């Protein structure tokens, strides 16, 4: 696997160190800890934000864990959260319509089992109609108009996955190969989007960005 999310909690493997069976590879770190980091970065970029929407799938175990952590983080940042529950693609438009009368200041997007990545362009378009800056875990979302993203470097994961393929083709058993977690994380900021939304990103946030899209 290249982008597994919490494979132990999902029952795919017994542990990261000793996966057992025929599955190994790399995980995409979309833990509750990382979700809290994204919210902190979003608040740093938009200090005036007091209400943050969270686009999430409440049926997923790891999205539930992220939501609980985000609630704790929100208290420390003095912001309130507004959940936007989406379980399938047909629910995006109605979820955004529900917040039109009570619009948050920004939107944090979870991975939602890949649903939010697959439909990232639609999410950004709907957010733009509501003048909502978007923080996500995927650089690709920022590239199509999201404001910022913070997450594991997918190209690095793919390169490391090739090493696993080589080991297995040379006779190594997947059960004996520990599942690796990301070692490189990127903060990407889209300044073009910031200008469209009339936002000025603080200089200290721009200085820690790994990539700035202009």
Please indicate, yes or no, whether residues 164 and 200 belong to a single structural domain of this protein: no
Please indicate, yes or no, whether residues 48 and 136 belong to a single structural domain of this protein: yes
Please indicate, yes or no, whether residues 46 and 96 belong to a single structural domain of this protein: yes
Indicate the pairing of strand 134-136 with strand 148-152. Answer: parallel
Q: What pLDDT, on the 0 to 100 scale, is given for residue 194?
A: 98
Please indicate, yes or no, whether residues 190 and 100 belong to a single structural domain of this protein: yes
Q: Is the pLDDT of residue 3 over 80?
A: no
pLDDT tens readout for residues 107-151: 999 876 688 989 999 999 999 999 999 999 999 999 999 999 999
Q: How confident is the model at residue 50 (pLDDT cuts 50, 70, 90)?
A: very high
Please indicate, yes or no, whether residues 49 and 135 belong to a single structural domain of this protein: yes
Return the minimum-mean-pLDDT range out of 39-43, 67-71, 153-157.
153-157
Please indicate, yes or no, whether residues 73 and 174 belong to a single structural domain of this protein: no
Q: Is the pLDDT of residue 30 over 70?
A: no
Pair 116, 96: CB distance under 8 Å: no
Please indicate, yes or no, whether residues 140 and 197 belong to a single structural domain of this protein: yes
Say how many domains are in the chain: 2
Full residue range of the structural domain in which residue 176 is found? 1-30+154-183
Q: What pLDDT, on the 0 to 100 scale, is given for residue 44?
A: 97
| Alpha-carbon distances, residue 129 vs 8, 96, 138, 164 (angstroms) | 38, 9, 21, 43
Arithmetic mean of pLDDT over the chain: 91
Indicate the pairing of strand 148-152 with strand 185-190. Answer: antiparallel
**This model's pTM is above 0.95:** no
The domain that holds 192 is classified in CATH as 3.40.50.2300
Please indicate, yes or no, whether residues 25 and 42 belong to a single structural domain of this protein: no
Q: Is the pLDDT of residue 31 over 80?
A: no
Please indicate, yes or no, whether residues 98 and 177 belong to a single structural domain of this protein: no
Please indicate, yes or no, whether residues 124 and 40 belong to a single structural domain of this protein: yes
Q: What are phi and psi of 84, to 5 degrees?
A: -120, 100
């Amino acid at each position: 696997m290249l982008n597994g999310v919490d494979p132990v909690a999902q029952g795919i493997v017994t542990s990261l160190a000793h996966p057992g069976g025929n599955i190994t590879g790399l995980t995409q770190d979309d833990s509750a800890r990382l979700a809290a980091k994204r919210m902190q970065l979003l608040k740093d970029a938009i200090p005036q934000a007091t209400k943050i929407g969270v686009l999430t799938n409440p049926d997923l175990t790891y999205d539930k864990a992220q939501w609980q952590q985000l609630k704790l983080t929100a208290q420390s940042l003095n912001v309130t959260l507004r959940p936007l529950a989406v379980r399938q693609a047909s629910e995006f438009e109605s979820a955004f319509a529900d917040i039109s009368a009570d619009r948050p200041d920004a939107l944090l997007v979870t991975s939602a089992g890949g649903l939010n990545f697959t439909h990232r362009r639609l999410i950004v378009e709907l957010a733009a109609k509501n003048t909502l800056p978007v923080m996500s875990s995927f650089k690709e979302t920022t590239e199509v108009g999201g404001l910022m993203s913070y997450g594991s470097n997918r190209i690095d994961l793919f390169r490391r996955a090739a090493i696993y393929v080589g080991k297995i083709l040379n006779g190594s058993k997947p059960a004996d190969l520990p599942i690796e977690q990301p070692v490189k994380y990127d903060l990407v900021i889209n300044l073009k989007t910031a200008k469209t939304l009339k936002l000025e990103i603080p200089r200290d946030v721009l200085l820690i960005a790994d990539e700035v899209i202009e």
